[in-house]
Amino acid sequence: MNVLDTDLLVAILRGNDEVKPMVDNLNSKEIAITSISAFELYRGAFASRRSTENAKAVAAMLSAYDILPFDHDAAKITGKLYVTLVAKGVQIEIRDAMIAGTCLSNNASIVTRNVRHYDRVSGLKVEPW
């Protein structure tokens, strides 16, 4: 399974032409997003000047994908990976850790442009776009 990171979802919402071929190529595989990315998209939509319109666009896009929840397994994995990285002196944004934990708990790859956000997470398959 491939999980689309928030940066890719934002590019889709903005109509970025270079994203379409890559997403079309992924359509032959199972694609999902995380509930954390859904939160980030809605947060951005509601913070914008056109909040109603942007929230509707987010809802329409999200309806096309399975949304993986941040459940007990993801929370446990995230807690462990976060503490492990911090103990090594490696900083990771908490939402990125939560997305990584959700991917790991679902044996999924993360498709992202922000490779450096995730390449330090042991066992996580990172697919750059």
- pTM, full prediction: 0.92
pLDDT of residue 120: 93
pLDDT of residue 28: 60
pLDDT of residue 27: 65
pLDDT of residue 18: 84
63 burial via Cβ count (<10 Å: 0-12, 13-18, 19+): exposed
Residue 11's domain comprises 2-128
CATH number of the domain enclosing 124: 3.40.50.1010
**pLDDT tens, N- to C-terminus, the chain (129 residues):** 999 999 999 999 998 888 878 777 776 668 999 999 999 999 999 999 999 999 999 999 999 899 999 999 999 999 999 999 999 999 999 999 999 999 999 999 999 999 999 999 999 999 998
As for how many domains the chain has, the answer is: 1
Q: How many CB atoms lie within 10 A of CB 95?
A: 15
pLDDT of residue 63: 94
